[in-house]
Amino acid sequence: MSSSQQPFRLAVIGSGPAGVYAAETLLRSAPVKNGELQVAIDLFDRLPAPFGLIRYGVAPDHPRIKGIITALHRILGRGDIRFLGDVEFGTDLTIEDLRTHYDAAIFATGALKDAELSVPGVELAGSHGAADFVAWYDGNPDYPRTWELDAESVAVVGNGNVALDVARVLSKTADELLRTEIPANVYEGLQAAKTTDVHVFGRRGPAQTKFSPLEARELSHPRGLQVVMDPRDIEQITEAQWETIKADKRTDQVVQTFVGWLEEQQRREAAGEEPTDREGRPVQRRLHMHFWHRPVEILGEGGDGGRVTGMRFERTQLDEEGNLEGTGEFVDYELGAIYRAVGYHGSELPGIPYDAKRGVISNTAGRVTAAEGDVLPGLYANGWIKRGPVGLIGATKSDAIETIASLLEDIESGVLHSAPERDGDAVLRLLEDRGVPYTTWDGWMALDEHEKALGAAAVDADGEPRARIKVVEREEMVRVSRDAVNQPSHA
């Protein structure tokens, strides 16, 4: 890999799946000399704990998705990747520092901001970005500890995975979520919530959702919840569209789930029966599924600084070519809060070329490029900050293969410059000199055990010990992490 007697030094910024898989992909390609790997990797994160979006961007009641942490934990636990948390790129560590201490750097910082929903009224109080709400209920230490949940009727705009998570959390009782790792402040906030009706709006039809069949079915699982369907949304599906739906097993299963809810709803109405949840319990909350609704305007009162009072939509349909078009029919809904779940957007990093329109680092096959298209040697990107917030974990692994292939080509061609400071401990001294209370993998292991112990000492609504209670305060996370390895929490 290198003619140098010292290992190739790589910095990875971001410890979510994109960062971990990039590091692991390079390690699988790295040669071994005299029993030693010829690559040294430092994995940085701005938060004290690793795993990025998997820890702080996935709903707490999604154990299958969070199971990815097990795989990431196994990779980082091997000891051939050094984790350094609570280090903010651009503040605690600069691009000049990376060039001094590393032969190359990969940016895998993901997409953390909400994509814009460009409609009038988006700035009204009560109009929330879904990403902010997710960060709150996932206990991200950089977000407020409280969340306003005073509205009885709320809207979730979007038909993707984030919209699904937000709708499910808003629809469940706090006690149902107590069996997860939610921290005390989130449980208290949800317990005090006044939400009775959650409306989910999608621009297209039931067949165009991104839900899996299992995720769709789970929407009806919360206790005391009734799913409410609009017959028009199913009736609008044409014969030709039904043929397309039935040709795809996943899509057919999802749509049949919606059809089943509608049929049960119509049966009860015809029989004059009171609605119940799926297990026959009285209804306490309702989840309204709306399709063929394009956002037009968020309605409010009070002028500048006013509050959300509703939202206007235009009903849509598919034309003969399958393109979405408006019908000219507008519908208003009374709502007290709006959650905009229309996608994520990447954030700019200091000193790194950025495509503001796409929300990504400018790159070609993972190589960071300047505005003119020239490659900046030694700088790379992976994951959502490379290609935008689309695709699942499998796509992140494919990204890593492409990015590392570019890195390996550059190593072999000799275009990379060796770092002038190659002592692996030098970057630790740099952080200590700057008073940065960085955390380590050993520190994470201590925090991991601490959170599990908090869970074991508490019980859920069924009286069972909880698996974990997530620590929210950054200072507490750092204290627990650094105390375990005898590091002062503040330099």
* Sign of the CA dihedral running 117, 254, 69, 394: negative
| Average pLDDT in the chain | 93
For residues 160, 165, 171 and 176, what is the CA-based torsion angle, rounded to 10 degrees? 160
Residue 1: per-residue pLDDT? 47
Tokens of 449: 């055990």
Instruction: Decide if pLDDT at 4 tops 60.
Output: no
pLDDT in tens, 364-391: 999 999 988 899 999 999 999 999 988 7
Q: In sequence order, which residues have a C-beta less than 8 Å from that of residue 443 and are 6 or more positions away?
A: 48, 85, 480, 481, 482, 484, 485, 487
Q: Given a cut of 80, is residue 35 above it in pLDDT?
A: no
Q: Is 116 helix (H, G, I), strand (E, B) or coil?
A: coil
Backbone phi, psi, residue 361, to 5°: -75, 130
Q: What is the pLDDT of residue 3?
A: 43
CB contact at 8 A, 410 and 1: no
Strand partners, 23: none
Ramachandran angles phi, psi of 159, nearest 5°: -130, 30
**Nearest Cα to 298, choosing from 125, 167, 153, 148?**
125
User: Which whole-number Å values give the CA distances from 222 to 63, 176, 214, in the listed order?
Assistant: 16, 8, 14
User: What is the per-residue pLDDT across 248-274, written as a single tens digit (0 to 9) for each?
Assistant: 999 999 999 999 999 999 999 999 999
Place of tokens 């921290």: 183
Q: Do residues 447 and 49 make contact, with C-beta atoms less than 8 angstroms apart? A: yes
CB atoms within 10 A of CB 409: 12
Q: Which amino acid is at 473?
A: E
**In 10 A of CB 279, how many CB atoms?**
8
The phi-psi region of residue 450 (left if phi > 0; otherwise alpha if psi is between -120 and 50; otherwise beta) is: alpha
Query: 313 and 201 in contact (C-beta within 8 Å)?
Result: yes
Q: Taking the CB of residue 12, how many other CB atoms lie within 10 A of it?
A: 27
Residue 215 one-letter amino acid: E
User: Who's near 474: CB < 8 A, 6+ residues apart?
Assistant: 47, 48, 86, 141, 142
**CATH code of the region 8-111+346-438:** 3.40.50.720
pLDDT tens digits along 338-352: 999 999 999 999 999
* Residue 5: per-residue pLDDT: 62
Q: Domain ranges in the chain?
A: 8-111+346-438, 113-344
Question: How much is the average pLDDT of 15-24?
Answer: 96
Per-residue pLDDT tens over the stretch 197-233: 999 999 999 999 988 898 899 999 999 999 999 999 9
Mean pLDDT confidence for 87-105: 97
Name the DSSP class of 276.
Answer: B
Q: What percent of the chain has pLDDT over 70?
A: 96
**Buried b vs exposed e over 331-369: b needs ≥16 C-beta within 10 Å?**
eebebbbbbbbbbbbbeebeebbbeeeebbbbbeebbbb
Give the lowest-confidence range in 27-41, 95-109, 316-330.
27-41
Q: What is the pLDDT of residues 278-305, one digit of tens each?
A: 899 999 999 999 999 999 999 998 766 7
Amino acid 491: pLDDT: 41
Q: What is the pLDDT of residue 304?
A: 65
**What pLDDT band is residue 33 in, cutting at 50, 70 and 90?**
low
If you write DSSP's letter for every residue of 293-355 in order, what string do you get? EEEEEEEEESSTT-EEEEEEEEEEEE-TTS-EEEEEEEEEEE-SEEEE-S-EEPPP-TTS-EE
Give CA–CA dist 80/104, Å, rounded: 17
pTM for this entry: 0.93
Question: How are beta strands 324-334 and 337-340 bridged, if at all?
Answer: unpaired
Q: Has residue 85 got a pLDDT over 90?
A: yes
pLDDT band at 64, cuts 50/70/90? confident
CA 300 to chain centre: 29
CATH of domain 113-344: 3.50.50.60
pLDDT (tens digit per residue) in 150-183: 999 999 999 988 999 999 999 999 999 999 999 9
Asked if 387 and 346 count as a contact pair (C-beta separation under 8 A), the reply is no
**pLDDT score for 459:** 95
Give me the half-sphere count of Cα atoms (radius 13 Å) on the Cβ side of residue 436.
26
SS3 337: strand
Element spanning 341, H or E = none
- What DSSP line would sit under 25-73, residue for residue? HHHHH--EETTEESEEEEEE-SSSSS-THHHHSS-TT-HHHHTHHHHHH
Residue with tokens 């599924």: 289
Q: Which two tokens stand for residue 388?
A: 């935008």
272: three-class secondary structure by DSSP: coil
* Whole-number Å distance between alpha carbons of 216 and 164: 8
Residue appearing with tokens 């859920």: 460
